[in-house]
Amino acid sequence: MEAAFSSFTRPSQVFSTQIIGLSRAFCFPKRDKCILKRLSSVFFFRFITYFALITCAVYRPQTIQCSMKSHRLSDLKDVEVHTLKSRPRIDFTSIFGVVKPIVDDVQSRGDAAVVDYTIKFDKVALERIVEHVSDLPDPEIDQEVREAFDVAFDNIYAFHAAQRIPERIIENMSGVKCKRIARCIGSVGLYVPGGTAVLPSTALMLSVPAHIAGCKTIVLATPPSSDGTICKEVLYCAKKAGVTHILKAGGAQAISAMAWGTESCPKVDKIFGPGNQYVTAAKMILQNSEAMVSIDMPAGPSEVLVIADKYANPVHVAADLLSQAEHGPDSQVVLVIAGDGVDIGAIEAEINKQCAGLPRGQFASKALDHSFIIFARDIVEAISFSNLYAPEHLIINVKYAEKWEGLIENAGSVFLGQWSPESIGDYASGTNHVLPTYGYAKMYSGVSLDSFLKYITVQSLTEEGLRSLGPYVAKMADVEGLEAHKRAITLRLQSMEVPIPL
């Protein structure tokens, strides 16, 4: 897509001509003075007029001209389809070079390093970097804002609490019982970005399932405000959802502090949350370090793939594309047209119109620069391409959208039908908005209650059970040449006077 200011006549050129003409008039000494006075009045009037025209032109709202590249899927070769489904490559080599010294410095100097990096990157000098949430007063926020986050909390809590799996005991053979028990991860770190936009919704998405899981230590890291305080909406969500500590830091230094632990920041066992390339790089470095910390999933820029047919409202389609594009200039936006009869011109016109009025339109327009349209024969072919692309968000805005759910194989979160905008899932439907991006939806799930749990298997055998199963295990151990494994069985069987397999 291309963005440009609309063209306008440059009054400065006309203005220059008038000045030249007037100056020449003043060069005639015999010219009547009253004529000069009239010319002076004309000059002043025209000066004011042209100044106003120039001012209006300079401050004229930006007009976005969108020209999305389009491709007909049936005309593409396999290599071309592969290129389209591939995301822009991120060169982490140089980013690792920037992040690794920060990771090492925080490991070495702890709180002092975090303070220094917060001064450097956030321009804030902190007396202390960690606050105990229980010690903080309740923030004063607008009643309507409070109600909105309360509704979101209730829905997120209900959806994630329903993910608890009842414990089941399976008796595979008489006297051989097995089960799987869930235990929470003791200490978790939650990263809530605060760069181009503050995201208290992310605080809810991460802290609610952590609280339901029973995590004892929940550290939420978020960049401080310019005065060193915590965003009041983030604090409200943190207190409501059971966060224990707030680390007032962002970027690689925050991830490092949670991974290593510092004088004031508890060490965590797993780190969650989205972030920029430096946050992602820090998570990648630390999960393979002596810090012994795991992460939720690989992260990349936000993305959406919208499938629309002739019944889709162009206004809604454009709004859904832009709601993802406004996240940042690196957001990935794809529109897949299913079948004939879609007014693509109306969709592009709506994108132009809506983007021009967005406060974050500059981010959206840059994201749209590398967006594209796919024309598919039908919905089946459209979903087939989506499965190859594996989007973070998949919107199926077609008639009878629910009937196509069974064809979906790869997606972070799906939105079915014309009344299911992606924004609903981002905030308050109850599903989690921390999702795999960059094509990782092919092998990763979004954050859920399970993300904060670990599962332990348990088996219990009676004497009858070992009599029945033991001889088979002894034979398998013998085949693998593991004599000690075999004897752990046979010595018990001998005490029962059970025949031992040769």
* β-bridge mates for residue 218, sequence order: 188
> Which phi and psi (to 5°) does residue 308 adopt?
-130, 140
71 is annotated as an active-site residue: no
Q: In what order do the strands lie in the sheet with 176-184?
A: 169-173, 176-184, 453-461
Nearest C-alpha neighbor of 6 from the set 320, 347, 353: 353
| Among 320, 335, 324, 272, residue whose Cα is nearest residue 301 | 324
- 326, 393, 422, 433: which one is catalytic? 393
- Integer Cα distance of 471 and 144 in angstroms: 68
Which residue, chain included where needed, has tokens 């009676």?
A: 462
Q: Is 393 a catalytic residue?
A: yes
CA distance linking residue 8 with residue 59, whole number of Å: 12
Q: What are phi and psi of 290, to 5 degrees?
A: -70, -5
Q: Tell me which amino acid residue 55 is.
A: T
CA atoms lying within 13 Å on the CB side of residue 55: 6
The letter for the amino acid at 496 is M
8 A C-beta contact, residue 99 and residue 32: no
DSSP E strands, 23-79: 69-72
One-letter identity of residue 359: P
The Cα–Cα gap between 107 and 261 comes to: 8
Dist. CA 313–CA 342, nearest whole Å:
10
303, 348, 392, 422: which is the annotated catalytic residue? 392
Give the count of beta carbons closer than 10 Å to the beta carbon of residue 499.
8
Known catalytic residues are 392-393
